Amino acid sequence: MNEKIKKEMRHKVTAIGSMPHRETEAALKLMSQNIRHIPHWPQLPFRSSKEGFTNQYLNPMLNEELLTFKEGKVFFNDSEAGWESKLMRYYEKVLQVQENSSGYDTFAFPEEAAAGFYSFLKKEAIGPECLVVKGQVSGPLSIGLQITDSKGNPSFYNQQLREITVKTLALNARWQIKKLEQLGYPVMIFVDDPGIYSYGTSSYVGLSRQDVQDSLEDIALSVKEEGGLSGMHSCAGVDWSIPLELSLDVINFDAYDYYTSMLVYLEQLKNFLNNGGMVAWGIVPTSESIEKEDSASLLKLLQERVEDMAAKGVPEQQLKEQMIVSPSCGAGTMSVEQAEKVYRELGGMAEELERLFG
């Protein structure tokens, strides 16, 4: 079934998730006018301080007092008295949901923390051309490097803390699928993990490649077990061999500013494509560069980069047939005017992709 859906998705456009709007109606209108086939629910970080990833994805751990959110910082309470009993209770909830395949609402977004998600569920932003609906979760490495243990160390280094974070994210992804599939379409979930950029840098020499891959794979497999398509987005020049070796359906990379970062991993990319994976080319810049571009110039650039990659040994037919297109990153840090241009140019490209690459 998923292979059929992937074939239908080729040459279509989608976006990463975050938008700068403060009102859900404006964000959904912009999205629906320009992304007709793979619409996404909008994350709106400027709408409210509650719309950050902590309240969205980690609320179950806040409710169980495993985490403290104080003065803009989030940390585990792992040195407090009673930590072990709180952790045990949480694990029991997780296991109960996993074993019974029910009770996923425990891992839901609070309504005040994800207004775009709940507005998206009302269907107004989904038109008759929709093929797949898209959700997203924050990545385990990005979260695990920002949230610390009680001593201020990144929690990703702690196996116990890393594990409960991954399980929480995976169950949120399953909950999203169950809610979004009520719209009547297949569901795709992206793991957004720009934190992978940290792997291999001098500041994070202790990061284990296996831990990074295992964490991402756990979420990807949860998505697939729930019947969804699994994707991963990361911006900048990351080690692309990490996600390319996983059982993901879609890899999304910044093909505008960091195209060359993928060229280091062409053998892994060929294997990924041979296994049926799709590449989401993030060719529409989510930076000031959008001011000098339009859909025609971006289509030309995309063609040039596909041809260049083909000349370097990646089968051109696979690159063309297993392609979708997106912005290079989320638009949440842009001005509303810039974000509108990103989505308009993306929508303009959608009209021509099949003709150029079909």
Number of Cβ within 10 Å of residue 187's Cβ equals: 23
CA angle in degrees (0–180, nearest 5) for 111-171-77 = 80
**Could you tell me the strand order of the sheet in which 250-254 lies?**
133-138, 187-192, 229-233, 250-254, 278-284, 323-327
Number of Cβ within 10 Å of residue 99's Cβ equals: 9
Say what the pLDDT of residue 1 is: 65
pLDDT confidence band for 120 (50 / 70 / 90): very high
- Mean pLDDT calculated for residue range 14-34: 96
The fraction of the chain above a pLDDT of 90, given in percent, is 90
Tens-digit pLDDT profile for residues 265-286: 999 999 999 999 999 999 999 9
Say what the pLDDT of residue 219 is: 98
What single-letter DSSP state applies at residue 235? -
Residue 292 predicted with pLDDT over 80: yes
Domain hosting residue 237, numbered range: 2-357
Mapped onto helix, strand or coil, the DSSP state of residue 293 is: coil
pLDDT confidence band for 126 (50 / 70 / 90): very high
pLDDT confidence band for 22 (50 / 70 / 90): very high
Mapped onto helix, strand or coil, the DSSP state of residue 40 is: strand
Tens-digit pLDDT profile for residues 306-328: 999 999 999 999 999 999 999 99
- Mean pLDDT calculated for residue range 161-187: 97
pLDDT confidence band for 70 (50 / 70 / 90): confident
- Mean pLDDT calculated for residue range 62-84: 92
Tens-digit pLDDT profile for residues 180-195: 999 999 999 999 999 9
Tens-digit pLDDT profile for residues 189-231: 999 999 999 998 888 888 999 999 999 999 999 999 999 999 9
DSSP states of 50-107: GGSHHHHHSHHHHHTTSEEEETTEEEE-TTSTTHHHHHHHHHHHHHHHHHHT--GGGG
Rounded Cα distance between 40 and 295, Å, is: 21
Residue 81 predicted with pLDDT over 90: yes
Strand-pair partners of 327? 284
Mean pLDDT of the chain: 95
Tens-digit pLDDT profile for residues 25-58: 999 999 999 999 999 999 999 998 889 888 899 9
**CATH number where 272 lies:** 3.20.20.210
Number of domains in the chain: 1
